[in-house]
Chains A and B, each alone.
Chain A
């Protein structure tokens, strides 16, 4: 992968990271592995939240959410997305390899598979949506 590809891929993945609400995202494509982490922005000390004074309990230091490993499943083809019924929803957990969607290209049904179990943490597409190569379709937590 050239630097340019990495840069453009990273932008799309960063969007998926924020949208999916993940702390960390790792994608592997051949020899290249891209890992993105979100660093929580520290609040300025001089500006405490307005409710802080009224709160009864002492503010506990925020425990970092357990790190979830998420994978983005993207389209390998240019086509139209066909989602299965019942429609996959965020939060759905499943075991093993399963078909998540089909992308239709010139009447050919290209199966999009999960390649292992996990939990769907984001669905980026809707039924009938045109997608291009590399477009994120789902995010799966492993």
Chain B
């Protein structure tokens, strides 16, 4: 096992990793930017290094300073969390070059899966169903030809994409030139990689993803699926749950089977997530995320497995302590993302001081957060300030518990998604289960109409 781990992240996930390390008896080193000096992740770590000013490019993405902090403090491993450098194969290689274990899959696998077009081709070769579409298209004309072939609507996607950036739905050939230009510019700005590919747009599919864990000794298991269909118009997830409600048992079994097959096919190790689009009985591989995900707690709560600890153990060379037959989910878990943003104003992000912060508690409630009363929400980063997770014996009891928990939550100083998510939970369609990714945008459109 490692002696000391550098946590190359901020916010709730840095704190989450810190907790896993401490429970394993591993010392921790936090990094922080000038803007995060007062964050809880800095306070809870055994050591902490300021690695740069507020803007992430100069701090949380500052590879030399981060690696230097790890070496100076005598770390033997780096946990990248999610976002920032988590899916940066070059960073993983640099860490390895300096004798630091990167807690994640091999750089070659990160590279292959990070390039969405390559990932799709590899999966297709392994017999995994993928959406009809193209490889990299070199121009808008090539994209147009693909559109002709597979039929509209189509989806333009950046091969380096993620979090909805560099992605556009195109309803007709007329829209293509404008959307191609804007999506490519966005991809270039966000990922320094403007290469695009085209996919058939599956209308209002469900977003269902499967958690996998794999060790260096050939052990590969899945930990069931999560439904992340409640997505903002920007495709960012807002509410996630496990297991996926109202899902045909045969489809569920197919997803689990396909996920483990895919993980084996690409030689995957550590924790990863395969994202699928589900439309009726059809499942399509969308992408693989080679990191821990924001919504991992819903899986942890129903499987009783600490995914972050497993990541660390696997990276340290240990074998998984369980096989597929040992894994049985119990009950239902749901997560609400508490973002410092205004849901009624296009989810515009806010920054400032949190004058009051009161989180819920009681049976079946877990809160992962780095903020507290008096803490500052800097303007530089993702707007998520907390995750509230509720678990119950049934979906209904988990939702009721979440409604109760959201009612206990008081956050003042910035606008948040708390109340709005409560409203979503009360919606009869959501309550029935099985909604698609188009549900939240339609909900917002309905809500905006005068009564």
A4: Cβ under 8 A from any B Cβ: yes
For this complex, 9 residue pairs linking A to B, each with C-beta atoms less than 8 Å apart, are A78-B69, A105-B68, A130-B73, A132-B50, A133-B50, A133-B52, A133-B65, A134-B50, A134-B53
Residues in B whose Cβ lies below 8 Å from that of A130: 72-73
Partner of B67, one of A9, A106, A134, A135: A106
Q: Do the beta carbons of B37 and A4 come within 8 Å of each other?
A: yes
A8: Cβ under 8 A from any B Cβ: yes
Complex: A3 Cα to B67 Cα, angstroms: 29
B90: Cβ under 8 A from any A Cβ: no
Residues in B whose Cβ lies below 8 Å from that of A79: 68, 72
- How many residue pairs link A and B with beta carbons under 8 A? The number is 63
Using a CB–CB cutoff of 8 Å, the interface residues on chain A facing chain B are 1-5, 8-9, 77-80, 105-106, 108, 130, 132-135
Number of interface residues of B (CB under 8 A): 25
Q: A4-B38, A4-B378, A108-B64 are in contact. Are A133 and B51 (CB under 8 A)?
A: yes
Complex: A1 Cα to B35 Cα, angstroms: 9
Complex: A77 Cα to B53 Cα, angstroms: 11
Complex: A135 Cα to B48 Cα, angstroms: 13
Q: Do the beta carbons of B376 and A4 come within 8 Å of each other?
A: yes
Residues in A whose Cβ lies below 8 Å from that of B49: 78, 132-133
Complex: A58 Cα to B51 Cα, angstroms: 55
Q: Which residue of B lies closest to A108 (CB)?
A: B64
Using a CB–CB cutoff of 8 Å, the interface residues on chain B facing chain A are 34-35, 37-38, 49-54, 59, 64-69, 71-73, 98, 351, 376, 378-379
Q: A4-B376, A5-B53, A133-B50 are in contact. Are A77 and B65 (CB under 8 A)?
A: yes
Of the candidates A4, A5, A79, the one having the most CB atoms from chain B within 10 angstroms of its own CB is A4
Partner of B64, one of A1, A80, A105, A134: A105
Partner of A106, one of B34, B98, B351: B98
Complex: A105 Cα to B38 Cα, angstroms: 26
Complex: A135 Cα to B54 Cα, angstroms: 15
Residues in A whose Cβ lies below 8 Å from that of B51: 78, 132-133
Q: Do the beta carbons of A78 and B54 come within 8 Å of each other?
A: no
Nearest CB of chain B from residue A131's CB, rounded to whole Å: 9
Q: A79-B72, A134-B34 are in contact. Are A106 and B64 (CB under 8 A)?
A: yes
Q: A2-B379, A9-B34 are in contact. Are A77 and B69 (CB under 8 A)?
A: no
Residues in B whose Cβ lies below 8 Å from that of A80: 72
Q: Do the beta carbons of B37 and A78 come within 8 Å of each other?
A: no
Complex: A95 Cα to B67 Cα, angstroms: 36
Nearest CB of chain A from residue B158's CB, rounded to whole Å: 30
Q: Which 4 A-B pairs have the closest CB atoms?
A: A78-B65, A130-B72, A8-B37, A78-B68
